[in-house]
Amino acid sequence: MKLMRYNHILKINIISYILFFLSFFTVFFSGKIVSKEIKIGTSIPLTGQFSNIGKYYHDAYKFTIDKINESGGVKVNNSFKKLSLKLYDNQSNIGINKCQYIKLITEDNINFLLGPFLNNFILNNSFISEKYKTIIMQSCGISNQILSNNFKYVFGLFIPAKNYFQDTIEILKKMKIKNEKIVFLYVNDAFHSAIANGVSLIFKKFNLNKIINKNYSLNTIDFTSLIAQIKNINAKIIFFSGYETNIINFIRQIKIFKIKPMFFSLTSDLLNKNIRNLLKNENNYTYGITPWLPNFNFKDRWFSNAKNFSNEYKKKFGYYPDYHSIFAVIDIESLVYAIEKSNDLNPLKVKKQLKKLNFNSIYGKITFNKNNKMIISQNVIKIQNNKLVPANS
């Protein structure tokens, strides 16, 4: 009996030693431990002045990763790995954001990065990803600095700022409104200044003159002095370029002044529930811009189609997704497709496959050009009878 027990223990020890040496040789020859998960890292604003938009990325990143993991995960070398997300709150502070991205790479040992959404943040993180040769998937980088740099590890969806209001101004031109005064207001940061430069060129092209063309500080809460100028000249056409909080404050205050434009255009996509609630009864003159609408019947591997995604998202978070949410989904899906195609987590191999991507998503067909960018266009939408419809319908 003792001999049998001894032999049993001996077998267990031999098996343990074999497993140990196998893992040792795997590490020795591959140069790294084979992980059971794929580590993705990001830093987004969950607090501070950009937290309202950061929430979309937070929710969509988690939602997409959970969905992919529930379906089995990511297939690599004939086995399935789960995605894990290391997410930091950068508190809307670019310095904190920079430190967190370096930490994600050097301390947390993530495999891939997901970006934030603000141009100056994205530019900072792009230099970090290049330095450490770590792939970063990012959305909404539209400044010329990001577009013109030949970043090799940065992949993303880009909306060129100079074209932001192109289609909206074309609609205004077709309306043949004569002798009306036009107001254009914008945040004095790099993103909105680039939009403003583009707008100036487009207005010039269509022989339209801006009577008031002014920028305002990102932290502006009180717009009454600008609104008083609008009311004083009785301007009926207003273009307003800003972030969600800026737009909300401006709309509230023009309502107090009882200003009713005949044409009111915003950089918002109007899917935002906070903005929509303010514009509930403001029909037939309010226009927005969006690269995505939920009624598009685009097919998707994990979410079936765009409409299904939108409904599932609403059920989970209590609000409908906007384009920020969609871009967050595409960032992760693109990575997963590239990892599976390369059958490896090696950044050089994954990078090579990202350049070859061609798949269907809730946004539509996803491909990247030779500069690792997918240039996307805007759709103009308007509020009509309290519903969002394409402006050309």
Q: Tell me the pLDDT tens digit for each residue of 185-235.
A: 999 988 888 899 999 999 988 888 888 999 999 899 999 999 999 999 999
What is residue 280's predicted lDDT score, i.e. its pLDDT? 77
Residues 165-179 have a mean pLDDT of: 87
- Going by pLDDT thresholds of 50, 70 and 90, the confidence category of residue 32 is very low
Please enumerate in sequence order all residues whose Cβ is within 8 A of that of 111, keeping only pairs 6 or more positions apart, or say none. 38, 39, 40, 345, 347
pLDDT tens digits for 291-308? 887 767 789 999 999 989
Residue 340 has pLDDT above 50, yes or no: yes
What is residue 104's predicted lDDT score, i.e. its pLDDT? 98
Two structure tokens written together for 63? 């939602």
Residue 45 has pLDDT above 50, yes or no: yes
- Going by pLDDT thresholds of 50, 70 and 90, the confidence category of residue 30 is very low
- Going by pLDDT thresholds of 50, 70 and 90, the confidence category of residue 141 is low
Apex 152 CA angle, 63 and 332, nearest 5: 10
CA 192/CA 235 separation, integer angstroms: 22
Residues 54-71 have a mean pLDDT of: 96
Residues 380-393 have a mean pLDDT of: 82
Weakest mean pLDDT among 19-28, 166-175, 232-241: 19-28
Residue 40 has pLDDT above 80, yes or no: yes
**Highest-confidence range of 136-140, 156-160, 340-344, 382-386, by mean pLDDT?**
340-344
Residue 327 has pLDDT above 70, yes or no: yes
Weakest mean pLDDT among 141-145, 170-174, 205-209, 328-332: 141-145
CA 53/CA 179 separation, integer angstroms: 37
pTM of the entire structure? 0.80
Residues 133-139 have a mean pLDDT of: 92
Distances (CA, A) of 228 to 110, 250, 258, 352: 52, 12, 11, 55
Q: Which residue has the higher pLDDT, 279 or 68?
A: 68
Task: Name the CA radius of gyration of the chain, rounded.
Answer: 25
- Going by pLDDT thresholds of 50, 70 and 90, the confidence category of residue 246 is very high
Distances (CA, A) of 68 to 75, 148, 188: 11, 33, 40
What is residue 18's predicted lDDT score, i.e. its pLDDT? 52
What is residue 356's predicted lDDT score, i.e. its pLDDT? 95
CA 166/CA 151 separation, integer angstroms: 27
- Going by pLDDT thresholds of 50, 70 and 90, the confidence category of residue 112 is very high
Residue 121 has pLDDT above 60, yes or no: yes
Residues 346-353 have a mean pLDDT of: 96
What is residue 297's predicted lDDT score, i.e. its pLDDT? 76
What is residue 339's predicted lDDT score, i.e. its pLDDT? 98
Task: Assign 3-class secondary structure to the chain.
Answer: CHHHHHHHHHHHHHHHHHHHHHHHHHHHHHCCCCCCEEEEEEEECCCCCCHHHHHHHHHHHHHHHHHHHHCCCEEECCEEEEEEEEEEECCCCHHHHHHHHHHHHHCCCCCEEECCCCHHHHHHHHHHHHHHCCCEEEECCCCHHHHHCCCCCEEEEECCHHHCCHHHHHHHHHCCCCCCCEEEEEECCHHHHHHHHHHHHHHHHCCCCEEEEEEECCCCCCCHHHHHHHHHHCCCEEEEECCHHHHHHHHHHHHHCCCCCCEEEECCCCCCHHHHHHCCCCCCCEEEEECCCCCCCCEECCCEEHHHHHHHHHHHHCCCCCHHHHHHHHHHHHHHHHHHHHCCCCHHHHHHHHCCCCEECCCCEECCCCCCEEECCCEEEEEECCEEEECCC
Residue 274 has pLDDT above 90, yes or no: no
Looking at every residue in the chain, the average pLDDT score rounds to: 86
Residues 226-248 have a mean pLDDT of: 93
% of the chain at pLDDT higher than 70: 88
